[in-house]
Amino acid sequence: PYVSGKTMIEDAWKNGYAIGAFTAHNLETIKAVLLAAEEEQAPIMIQIGQKAINEMGMQPLREAVDSLIAHHQISVPICIHLDHSRKFEQCMEAATRNFQSLMFDGSALPIEDNIRITRAVVEVANALGLGAEGEIGKIGGTEDDITVDEKDAMITTVAEALDFSEATGVDYLAVSIGTAHGVYKTTPELKFDRLSEIREAVKKPIVLHGGSGVPDDQIVEAIKRGVAKINVDTELRKSFLEAVQAHWAEQPEDWILADVMNDGIAAMKATVQQKIRLFGAAGKA
Ligand code: G3H
Ligand code: 13P
Ligand code: ZN
Ligand code: NA
């Protein structure tokens, strides 16, 4: 049921919904995402990020997705996406391992280097029929301690979005419009005017990073204004681990690993399903 990220995101963009790009870290979290997608009959992306690759290895994770799709007879469209790669070579490795979508993140590099390497990744992705994502502007980390001035300075401008989009040819474009990775100490306020201006200029699907902790009404508004891929990681891990904590609070001597993990899987699956519905992707398989 693998589908190119390009096809998947374009369908969402044209039809006014967003694809949830859900980060998975291990067998349990891959299972939670797959079962949620199947139950909602939704196309989804499974994101493999740098932390998981460092801990588990790209190929073990990649093979786990294949195995679990077969084991659970998953029928909905699935796209495996490489998240926040900082190396051209790693993007090429993912391409050879049958990922369907690649993100080169050169947002920390000088703009010329970001453009040059992103463009190279896009060329390979295009040739292989994969989707390619690039990032322009700096999306915050868990940097709630930085000042408002500094936060404003990180917002992607229309000119840089347009230049980057045209120079690289990315299929979908990650921009910084007020979200941050991780949890927020204060409620984020997305820059909707800027989002609309960027969409108007680049005429491509926009990717929203840092999806965890963004209020539902702002997510809905962002989708109306051209966001067609929404990355979610922290809220999923939080669901999983809070369920594990609750399990142990009740049964502090339960050493049956599968029973403990099952509570985590069920909780994370429920959160993924809630996001899929919020993004308008339920029933779009
Ligand atoms: O070509 C891409 C490699 O990741 C090396 O990057 O050109 O910034 O050294 P670089
Ligand atoms: P959150 O952890 O804030 O959901 O961000 C996820 C993300 O953007 C992964 O690329
Ligand atoms: Zn991100
Ligand atoms: Na976030």
Secondary structure class of 197 (helix, strand, coil): helix
Cα–Cα distances in angstroms (integers) from residue 156 to residues 139, 149, 232, in the given order: 9, 14, 20
CA of 254 to the centre of ligand 2 (A): 32
Q: Are 205 and 11 in contact (CB under 8 A)?
A: no
Secondary structure class of 24 (helix, strand, coil): coil
- At residue 136, the pLDDT reads 96
- At residue 144, the pLDDT reads 47
110 lines ligand 1 (CB under 6 A): no
CA 250 to chain centroid: 33
Q: What is the pTM of this model?
A: 0.95
CA of 259 to the centre of ligand 3 (A): 31
- At residue 258, the pLDDT reads 97
The span from the first CA to the last CA of the chain, in angstroms, equals 10
Rounded-to-integer distance, Cα 38 and Cα 28, Å = 16
117 lines ligand 1 (CB under 6 A): yes
CA 43 to chain centroid: 13
- At residue 149, the pLDDT reads 57
Residue 282 tokens read as 């339920």
Is 84 assigned to a binding site? yes
Q: Which residues of the chain have pLDDT under 70?
A: 142-153
Quick one: CATH architecture of 5-278?
Alpha-Beta Barrel (3.20)
Rounded-to-integer distance, Cα 263 and Cα 68, Å = 18
> Which ligand 2 atom lies nearest to the CA of residue 235?
4
- At residue 143, the pLDDT reads 47
